[in-house]
Amino acid sequence: MGLTVKWNKPIEQIIKQNVLGKDTMMFAGSEAKRLMTPFVPFDTGTLADTAQIIADDTSASIHYVQPYAGVTYYGERKGRPINIRKEKHPLATKLWDKFSMESGGKEKLIAALQEYIRRK
């Protein structure tokens, strides 16, 4: 006795619907934001607290919406460096997404996504 498996949908569509998808990408964005937060410069917390996660079926992005977000992210205003205070977030830095991922965040994000997909 043999077993025959027939896919009713292309494998790409199955992966997109069951592995990727907006919910998975929203989880990835939320997890990335959580991992980046200790690296985001912090005074009152508004910059990190108001960041928005935008997700679709295949990607997610984090938008820091405060008017000063770009200056803070690049660490300079009109070509001059700004002072990034570290009293409340000792790891705070410009380019916080890159520093977060280079400081173990990438591995943590991958592990969290693997666990999320495994439970799905």
Calculate mean pLDDT across residues 14-33. 86
Q: State residue 117's pLDDT score.
A: 86
Work out the angle at residue 91's Cα, subtended by the Cα atoms of residues 85 and 95, and round it to the nearest 5 degrees.
Answer: 85
Q: State residue 5's pLDDT score.
A: 61
Calculate mean pLDDT across residues 36-43. 97
Kindly list the domain boundaries of the chain, sorted by start residue.
12-119
Chain centroid to CA 27: how far?
Answer: 9
User: pLDDT tens digits for 61-97?
Assistant: 999 999 999 999 999 999 999 999 999 999 999 999 9
pTM of the full structure? 0.84
Work out the angle at residue 92's Cα, subtended by the Cα atoms of residues 90 and 97, and round it to the nearest 5 degrees.
Answer: 140
Contacts of 107 (CB under 8 A, 6+ apart): none
The pairing of strands 80-81 and 52-55 is unpaired
